[in-house]
Structure 1
Amino acid sequence: MNIQRVAVDPPRRPLARLLAPYIAELKAELRRTWRTPAFVLPCLLFPVLFYAMFGVMLGRGQASRYLLATYCVFGAMGPALFGFGVQLAMDRAGGLLTLKRALPVPPLAPLLARLLMAVIFAVVVAILLIAAARTMGGVSLAPLQMAGLVAVAALVALPLGAIGLLIGSHVESDAAPALVNLVYLPLALLSGLWVPLSMLPGVFSTLAPLWPTWHAAQLALRVIGQPAGGSVLMHGMVLGAVTVVGALLAARRLRRVG
């Protein structure tokens, strides 16, 4: 008797089931983050306090408008760099990544959850800065300009998250905070996020296109009608390249050492 084999397509998983592990990881990441005031409060409040001091109290002319744009970029840097760089190094040291590999969780779910967390923080900081600029600095913005600033802040989380991922995948947990600070603070200064590059020696302006945060700052300045260098396409290509290269190098490292 001939038995014919009939190919049966595997049942398709509903979209909700496919997204469930990613949503669960995001909820867990948000709970862990919000239960760490030493991380949450500086990330949310320091950019606003610095803006109130340098952009409102000590600012002159267009300073409040300029610093609103650059501080939106600066405010997105902290959660991305520290959330990925330091926390990933600690997770590696504690064996959490190894444990999650043994669980029925998509490999990218923890990293995507952390990336979304960084984006959420960047958006919240941008909204707080816009509110401070409008109420204390007298900055007038159209709705599209406010939305554009929030979008740029969210965009910054991608390349900075990739850089943080690269640091966290290579550095031990004890050294990660120091190295992240060595990237975080000089990058903000060299990109003109604290003071305009025109107020610094000419070498700073010459080297500025090397830093991804400078490109993000130019996008933010362009959104609110401030003078900005380069083209939108160039800035987008640089930020995209940093994101892809950093993520690929970090993924390669994590596959080898975990």
Structure 2
Amino acid sequence: MTAYALLAGIWRREAVAEVRRSLRLPQFLAPTVLTPAAFYGLFTLAVTKSPSPAFAAATLAGYGVFAATGPALFGFGAGVAMEREQGLIELKRVSPMPAGAYLAAKLAASLVATALALVLIYALAVIAGVRLPAATWVVLAVLHLTSCAPFALIGFGFGMRMSGKGAVAVANALFLGYSVLGGLWIPSAVLPGWMRALGETVPSYHLGQIARALVGADTIGSPVGHALAILVMTALAGWWARSGWQRSPA
């Protein structure tokens, strides 16, 4: 067996183990998989008794991003903090396993949870009458899945700095705060000016605007500008995550 094959095997086994472990945790699946779909069904289908396909598509754009925030913040934030307190991260650091395999496994678990939530949301959107070209569905799904990245880096940063209880509290606060300020539940255009200004400082706002543009909904600003903002915020989140890993002794 070559060194490359051995390394790939380590990464694969770590990812599979992490995905299986997360799928066995109802306290992780309930808020991260079921909540986004439940909110979309409630506020798009139930409260609005006969939603137009355009309205259902516009809310789909935001709730898809919402579905990516939970698995990333809780898996990387609260989950990492608890494992650090238990000494698991210290054990992995002194083992021959590459540090990247641990992070990749966490990301794989977040992506699987996000994908499960998106399947439910997309199914409800089709029931509500949303009809998009196949290519648009694919691009939208890719955007929603990759939305995990900045939130995962942010979560990992505070997960490496805080206690387990503190990280859970922060993850919950950011989970809700990013959704409200980002206009994922209520369109940013109808939010008060001060809330919209705050929203422009968080990644959920820019991701939501790009997603709205993909489905043909009204947006604020240009997709290119939002994409550049996401790149900058992701880079800053990467620095935050890396510095947390380097400064933590365990």
Q: Percent identity, aligned pairs only? A: 32
1:67 alignment partner, one of 38, 59, 64: 59
Match status 1:248 vs 2:232: no
Matched residue, 1:107: 99
Tell me the residue number matched to 1:178. Answer: 169
Q: Which residue in the other structure is 1:228 paired with?
A: 219
CA distance in 1, matches of 2:78, 2:101: 18
Q: Which amino acid aligns with 2:76?
A: F
The 5 Å alignment of 1:124-163 reads 124-135=116-127, 137-163=128-154
Total equivalences in the alignment: 246
- Shift of the 14–104 alpha-carbon distance from structure 1 to 2, 3 Å rule, reads closer
Deviations 1:58-103 (A, max 9, x none): 2344432211110000011000000000000001100101101121
Report the equivalent of 2:21. 32
Structure 2: 5+ residue stretches without partners: none
The residue identity in structure 2 corresponding to 1:238 is: A
Is 1:91 the counterpart of 2:83 in the alignment? Answer: yes
Q: CA RMSD in A?
A: 1.7
How far apart in 2 are the matches of 1:57 and 1:256?
Answer: 48
Q: Which has the larger radius of gyration?
A: 1
Residue type of the partner of 1:174? K
What SS does structure 2 have at the residue aligned with 1:218?
Answer: helix
Q: Check whether the contact 1:75–1:122 (CA below 8 A) recurs between aligned residues.
A: yes
User: Does the Cα contact within 8 Å between 1:84 and 1:165 map onto a contact in 2?
Assistant: yes
Q: Is the contact between residue 84 and residue 164 of structure 1 (CA under 8 Å) also seen in structure 2?
A: yes
- Quote the Cα distance in structure 2 between the aligned partners of 1:139 and 1:249: 38
| Kept after mapping to 1: 8 A contact 2:19/2:112 | no
Q: Does 1:55 align with 2:44?
A: yes
SS of match in other structure, 1:175: helix
1:45 counterpart residue number: 34
CA distance, structure 1, for counterparts of residue 118 and residue 112 of structure 2: 10
The answer to whether residue 201 in structure 2 is matched with residue 210 in structure 1 is yes
Gaps of 5+ in 1: 1-11
Aligned equivalents of 1:73, 1:217: Cα separation in 2:
6
| TM-superposed deviation, 1:131 | 1.0
Larger CA deviation: 44-53 vs 54-63: 54-63
Q: Structure 1 200/256 Cα, relative in aligned 2: closer, same or farther at 3 Å?
A: closer
CA distance in 1, matches of 2:95, 2:159: 22
Secondary structure of the corresponding residue to residue 183 of structure 2: coil
Tell me by how many angstroms 1:233 deviates.
Answer: 2.8
Quickly say closer, same or farther: Cα 1:239–1:110, change in 2 above 3 A. Answer: same
Residues in 2 aligned to 1:126 and 1:31: alpha-carbon distance in whole angstroms: 19
- The one-letter amino acid of 1:234's match is G
- Normalising by structure 1, we get a TM-score of 0.89
Question: How far 1:158 sits from its partner (Å)?
Answer: 0.3
